[in-house]
Amino acid sequence: MGKTITEKVLSRVTGGDVSAGEIIYPEPELITVHDWYVVNFDKALKELGVEKLYEPDKVIISTDHEPVAVSPQASERQKQVREIVKKYGIKHFYDSGRGGHGHIFPVEMGFVKPGMFVEAYDVHVTNFGAVGALAIPVLIEITEVLACGSVWLKVPETVRVNLTGSLLPGTNMRDVAQKLICDLGAERVDYAVVEFGGDAMPSIDIAGRHTLCNTPIDIGAKSVLVEPDQSTLDYLAGRVNGPIDLISSDLDANFREIIDYDLNVLEPQIAIPPTPDCVVGVSEVVGKEVHHAFIGSCAAANLSDLRAAAEILRGNRIHPQVRFIITPGTQEIMSAAEEEGLIGLFAEAGAMITQPGCGPCAGGRIGGMADGETSINTGTRNDYGRLGAMKSEIYLGSASTVAASAIQGKITDPRDFLN
């Protein structure tokens, strides 16, 4: 019997021959933790009497949830994070203004390679699957990984999704990624790795792959990855040193299911409250008044998202009733957007540009909402209270849909602007 990418990666790191269902203690080759959990893991380690990390050089800490401290408590936490990082000798520390979003910049900077095994505190680390890495969130058990080098893992099965067809004008990978999790449903992917491949893959750039790898975790997948290909090699050239192995699943691997999925999703898609997999076509919610709009988050903060927004915003102004926040994913994306003139274009249209990172999506600490307000944004989740007030509503869509809606002050089909 052949093996899936996941089984191959976990066999390699454990030095064994593992298959789905086995319980193993695999050691990750990279570990990421964000600024809002550093103080917590330090406290847990102190209680356990642990003074040294198992392998501090494998750890990346990113200040992305609250890069600009907006309260005395946040400033205090930032100070503690800096002290903790120093105490444990963690050299890969990307503080405010350095890296940006911890689910995006490590890929840009070449920390992440195809076939690599990664563990993290935060769930959306599955973005690393964009270049074919297996990245698994372990939440509070990251303490055990930091102290002992590993934590138990049941080798997950794989659901293979072969993407076919092509995008229609006015839609992008966000629309596909949203509709896909709605169509798949939680039962089918529960505890499985969703592995993307198929004929349409060459047409999807790394930014689009980030988005594809971001959404399935929200319906209970264990991880998500794209089978690496020539596009992956092209992207990583100059970012990663040394040889790159284009790992792939064997033809006779034991997949839980193999699904064909067409990129032609007919129209832009909107996730309506209260979960990201409650997805409808934009035509069902067009006209819904909005007060808040946001482009950013690990689901859609890449240069291509900003370009898509700029295409619609050019020559237009944000509706007077709407406050519009744009958070580029990383310092590199911010810089590239500036070079292309996008930042100036956004400012002229009436948008606010924030420090790279999670932006409002991290619980609405910056640019949140009040009761009774409605937001259209590209964040990862739309649970009640995600952006602050419990009685506010969040609709999720592509950067194009958000930009069009911000101009009109109501949910708008972006195709109205693309003639």
Interacting residues toward other proteins by CB under 8 A: 22-23, 25, 48-50, 54, 141, 143-144, 147-148, 152, 190-191, 220, 222
Beta strands 134-137 and 117-120, pairing class: parallel
Number of C-beta neighbours around residue 289 at 10 A? 14
Contact in structure between 298 and 276 (CB atoms under 8 Å): no
**Closer Cβ to other proteins, 278 or 352, answer by number:** 278
Write down the least CB distance from residue 395 to other proteins, Å: 23
Burial of 23 (0-12, 13-18, 19+ CB in 10 A): exposed
404 Cβ partners below 8 Å, 6+ apart? 312, 412, 413, 414, 416, 417
User: Based on CB atoms, which residue is closest to other proteins, 123 or 206?
Assistant: 123
Q: How far is the CB of 31 from other proteins (least distance, A)?
A: 16
Q: Which residue, 54 or 165, has its beta carbon nearer to other proteins?
A: 54
**Nearest distance in Å: CB 141, other proteins:** 7
β partners of residue 398: none
Nearer to other proteins, 26 or 100 (CB): 26
CB nearer to other proteins: pick between 160 and 222: 222
Task: State how beta strands 279-281 and 269-271 pair.
Answer: antiparallel
CB 286 within 8 A of CB 411: yes
**Cβ pair 94, 6 in contact under 8 A:** no
Of residues 159 and 333, the one with the C-beta less far from other proteins = 159
- In the DSSP assignment, the letter for residue 26 is P
Q: Which is nearer to other proteins, 157 or 373 (CB)?
A: 157
DSSP type of residue 361: G
Type of residue at 251: L
Q: What would the DSSP string read from start to end of 153-220? A: EEPPEEEEEEEES-PPTT--HHHHHHHHHHHH-HHHHTTEEEEEESTTGGGS-HHHHHHHTTSGGGGT
Work out how close the CB of 148 gets to other proteins at its nearest, in angstroms, rounded to a whole number.
Answer: 5
Q: Which residue lies nearer to other proteins by CB, 55 or 289?
A: 55
**CB of residue 13 to other proteins, shortest distance in Å:** 16
- Cβ 144 to other proteins, closest distance in Å? 5
Query: Cβ 351 to other proteins, closest distance in Å?
Result: 35
Report the alpha-carbon distance of residue 142 to residue 122 in Å, rounded: 9
User: In this complex, which beta carbon is closest to other proteins, that of residue 22 or of residue 340?
Assistant: 22
Q: How far apart are CB 247 and other proteins at their closest, in Å? A: 25
Please tell me the distance from the alpha carbon of residue 391 to that of residue 411, in angstroms, as a whole number: 19
Distance of CA 131 to the CA centre of its chain: 13
CA dist., res. 179 & res. 181, Å (int): 6
Residue corresponding to tokens 């540009």: 353
Please report how close the Cβ of residue 143 comes to other proteins at its closest, in angstroms: 8
